[in-house]
Amino acid sequence: MTALRGQLRESVPMARYTTWRVGGPAERLYEPADAADLGVFLASDQAVEPLFWLGLGSNLLVRDGGLRGSVIRLHRGLASLQDLGAGRVHADAGVPCAKLARWCGRRGYAGAEFFAGIPGTVGGALAMNAGAWGGETWAHVESVATVDRAGRVHQRRPGDFEVGYRRVQGAASEWFTAAILQFRPDGDPKALNDRVRSLLGERAETQPTGMASGGSVFRNPPGDHAARLIESAGLKGAREGGAWVSEKHANFIVHGGDARAADIESLIHHVQARVEALHGVVLEPEVRVVGEEVCDAH
């Protein structure tokens, strides 16, 4: 049996690894050394199910009771970028999307600027077809590498998946480890980096980037915007414990420092109920809610 080269820890508080800064402990957390080590881990009896995949911890709410099984964090070991020429880029799943945007800009690869507005990693962007400012991840995918539960690696094309707005289905029981992305090779590096800086400045003006949040909470319903519906329902500033709906952008719930995951989840449900009652629209969460609830003793 090949020895593991990554780092395996037990009872790890997930508040350290989520952008909401809440969440109970993971039973175990593994940070693979690289893609080969990830395969070894998955094939071993150390990979206790269920498995949870973690990038930068955005778009993720871990309940206060924590997570049973194994959290696999790719941000350290699968974090390389390779220039394949002519606008083609090999990106590991753990690469932050904002880093990808800047890296492509320096090389004059146009079309990657929107990745600066995605607060997670390439793996998460692939899993949900993340997008910003009119761009979407899968519009640039040439191929992907996945790994299955036995540690076997597969090369797949976009045709192997059903891709929609913030949804990707296909290749069940496989997880993304890398992608080859195609951008336009004819961009001007200075203009592209100016564009990225401008977009990030716009994001800072319109979103609560200086506070702990999980990113956009709800998917935009067809033909409308979740933020508009939430604001028109009078929910900006609505509170639950130490969490509240952002005054800056209504589709963000922020953590003021003493919130529990239960406060955030309760506020999500309150927003859904209020918007449905007033507008007849059921808002669908964009964030994933995982883990065990804590029963308060009375």
| Active site annotation includes 286 | yes
**The two three-digit tokens of residue 291, written as one number:** 């883990």
Catalytic choice (166, 174, 213, 240): 166
| Active site annotation includes 216 | yes
Residue type, 237: G
Specify whether the CB–CB gap between 87 and 184 falls below 8 A: yes
CB-count exposure of residue 186 (10 Å: 0-12, 13-18, 19+): exposed
Residue type, 137: T
Among 137, 196, 203, residue whose Cα is nearest residue 166: 137
Residue spans of beta strands (DSSP E) within the chain: 7-13, 25-31, 51-54, 60-62, 67-73, 81-85, 88-92, 131-132, 135-136, 141-148, 153-156, 162-164, 167-169, 174-182, 212-213, 239-240, 243-245, 253-255, 288-290
**The two three-digit tokens of residue 216, written as one number:** 């956009």
Catalytic choice (58, 70, 216, 246): 216
Integer Cα distance of 271 and 229 in angstroms: 10
> Could you tell me the maximum CA-CA distance found in the chain, to the nearest angstrom?
65
- Pairing mode, strands 51-54 and 67-73: parallel
Active site residues: 166, 216, 286
